[in-house]
Each structure stands twice: as C-alpha cells, then as structure tokens.
A = this chain, B = another copy of it.
Amino acid sequence: MMRTRPLKVALLGCGVVGSEVARIMTTHADDLAARIGAPVELAGVAVRRPDKVREGIPQDLVTTDATALVKRGDLDVVVEVIGGIEPARTLITTAFEHGASVVSANKALLAQDGAALHAAAEEHDKDLYYEAAVAGAIPLIRPLRESLAGDKVNRVLGIVNGTTNFILDKMDSTGAGYQEALDEATALGYAEADPTADVEGFDAAAKAAILAGIAFHTRVRLDDVYREGMTEVTAADFASAKEMGCTIKLLAICERSKDGASVTARVHPAMIPLTHPLASVRGAYNAVFVESDAAGQLMFYGPGAGGAPTASAVLGDLVAVCRNRLSNATGPGESAYAALPVSPMGEVVTRYHISLDVADKPGVLAQVATVFAEHGVSIDTVRQQGKDGEASLVVVTHRASDASLNGTVEALRKLDTVRGVASIMRVEGE
C-alpha cells in the first residue's frame, strides 16, 4: 500500500554529507519510497553559498534563508547537517515548533544540549534521531537505544575518532613522531587544517557524552567528560607499549562503577594489548566495544566519518522517522530515568604505565616503591634500566584510582632521586 502524498524533507547544509544525502535521495528514490511506504521529496536545501553549482539539486530548491525554510509548516522531516551550536540549535527547535521531526548528525550540539533538544522534540511530539552523530555509518545509537534496551550496559570502550586513529596507527607502524604523522594525515585529507577538535579529544569527548547518556539512561554532558588529547604521545611511548605487548589508541571510555551507583566518561590515549580487537583497528576506521550483563561483549566496526558513510546513517534515520510519521508514532526519546551521578576522573579506576628518570644508585627503587605503597597504589611490574649514571624505571601498576595515582606522582616528583616523570599512560582493555 503506497501512500501517494510524498513526505517532505528539508536539508540544512549541503557540504560533504548533505550533498551525499541529496544524491542518494534522488538516485534511490524508488527504494526509499518502497521501504518507507510513501515517496520522499526534497522540499528545500539551505546553504551558505547559493551560487555554487550543486549537481542533481534543482536551483529553485536552494535557499540561504534556513529559518524561513524550517518555518514553512509543511515539512515532515528536517535533516540538519550544518554542524556547530548555532544556528543549528535554533533551527532544530524551530523545526519542531513548526511540525517537523529532525534527523541530525551534530555531535557537538547533542553533547552540549541534548536534553533541551529532546525536551523540545517531546513537547511537540516529534522525533529527534542522530545515528550519524557518533561513529559515522556504524550503527551504535540504535543498537544501544533499542537492541540493548532489555539489557544492562556496563561499559562502552571505543575508538570514535578516525583522524587520531590514523595518526596513532601511522606512529605505530612507521615509528614516526606525532608531528610527522599529523602532517601526513593533513596531506591525505584525514585531518583538517585546524586539527584541534580531533587531536585534543573534543570530538571524541562529545561522542563519549552521547554514548554514555544512552548506555546508562543518564544525562551526560560534554562538561562531564574527562578529556586528554593525544598530542603528547611520543615515539618513545610506542616503544614502551611494544615492550608490554601493547599499542596506543585514543579511547572513549564510558563506565558504570562497580557498585552500579555512578558512571564515568573519559577520553584519553591509553595502552591496550595487541590481542585486544581494538588494537587492530587501522587507519581512519572506528570501532566500539559494548559490554553488558546479558549480551556480554559486542563490537561494532566500520568507517567513522566521510560523506557517504555519514549519509548512510542519516538516511537510515530518515526512513525510520518517515515510517513513524506515517503511523503517527514517535520512536524512543531521551531515556534519562536512571539519573546516575557522573563521578569525576579521580574516581576512575584503571592501571598505569609510568616512566621515571631516576639517579642510578642503590636504594632508589626502594624509595620509589615506598611512595607507591604509601598512596595505596599496588605495583604489578618494575623494570630498571641504567646507563651513564642515569637510569630509568618503568612501573606498571595494578588497578588504582586516578586520584591515588596523581597523589603518587606528585610525591615521586618531590624525591631527590627522581629527576623527572617521563610519561604516564593508562592501560586499558585487559
């Protein structure tokens, strides 16, 4: 049974992702109509530069007035692929007010204002879908929000930024330093001219906030996510990792505490064993591990960015939202009923790999070990290397809180025999 009145879709933004969404809507129109149960029609495209020629998009659909477009009142769905906070936020809420549901790929906005946007959607009885906001084409939001809706998720651990994974993979495989690997990523188009959002972990932190919120049925904002970039990872760190049978990845980690009463979310570089499936995620690919009570360990892997993969996720959401419109229903909205407190980084418990430059004389190891013991941080292994009156100590700890580790390091720095703390890196995935 095909309904003949088409569903009207407006596109906000027509860059790499938007143009691909428009292209697929045109070239796969019959498939989309069959899957939705009604044809979909591109009703308008809001752009910044109206004079640019866009293949396959009729010029009379193009407008620079995005506000007027979302206020038309006859739209079924607004697809927002502008990115950034404003004007995206105002356009989305205006779209809800004027009767449209929204599909967005905007991780920054959802991480910052997800709760308010969900509330606006609910107030107007509309859908807000955003599979494309996290890990591009990889289905993650829908599996967490729907497939695991009857399970209890305890941990989400993943590589959710392709740019930094490309850089770290390059450093690992070639021995290159950070700057050299970044330059190659920039030359190949994997890194933007200003790579700050990627390399400082802001992009991954936004995704961690979104994933943690859905996984734990708790509001988690960008500000709740501990964030450490990967610009200070060195070739020496990779050498240390190799000695431990590990590699280094920038990880987003969302965890429920052992007693289940709180959660944490964080982004930082970490060593993971080469035997862990995340260790073999190459280039700009993304992969996310999800651990839950009943399902156990699941992994989702695929291209985390790019025009076509992101468009695939947007269109999957578009089909779902259109189906919901036809049956006068809405999909699952925000689920924040658990309202668990988000603990600060100090309460995160993990293992650490610490490299110290120390004086090469008797008794240093005993001094260092005493400091660890005094702070309740238990040592797993120590390796001592001496050369020319200088020596290095590599300590790998058992699980300890971040606060205890920080206290330990502060005390170590005060020891006369410790010349410097060369590196501290967390060890995950064991």
Is B302 a contact of A301 with CB atoms below 8 Å?
Answer: no
Chain A interface residues (CB < 8 Å from chain B): 20, 24, 28, 31-32, 34-35, 131, 137-139, 142-143, 146-152, 217, 277, 280, 292-303, 306, 308-309, 311-320, 323-324, 327-330, 332, 335, 337-338
Known: A295-B308, A296-B308. A149 touches B301 (CB 8 A): no
Q: Which of B139, B148, B299, B330 contacts A327 (CB 8 A)?
A: B330
Is A316 a contact of B150 with CB atoms below 8 Å?
Answer: yes
**What's the Cα separation between A382 and B91 when bound, in Å?**
64
**What's the Cα separation between A320 and B320 when bound, in Å?**
13
Q: Which of B139, B328, B332 contacts A147 (CB 8 A)?
A: B139
Is A296 a contact of B301 with CB atoms below 8 Å?
Answer: no
User: Which of A35, A137, A146, A329: most chain B Cβ within 10 A?
Assistant: A146
Shortest CB-to-CB span from A263 to chain B, Å, is: 15
Query: Can you list 14 A-B pairs with a CB-CB distance of less than 8 A?
Result: A34-B335, A34-B337, A35-B150, A137-B295, A138-B298, A147-B313, A149-B315, A149-B320, A150-B312, A150-B314, A297-B302, A298-B300, A299-B299, A327-B330
Residues of B within 8 A of A338 (CB): 31, 34
Chain B's closest residue to A335 (CB) is B35
Q: Which of B297, B316, B320, B329 contacts A324 (CB 8 A)?
A: B329
**What's the Cα separation between A161 and B309 when bound, in Å?**
29
**What's the Cα separation between A328 and B324 when bound, in Å?**
11
Residues of B within 8 A of A292 (CB): 312
Residues of B within 8 A of A142 (CB): 139, 142-143, 146-147
Q: Which of B143, B150, B327, B335 contacts A329 (CB 8 A)?
A: B327
Residues of B within 8 A of A301 (CB): 277, 298-301
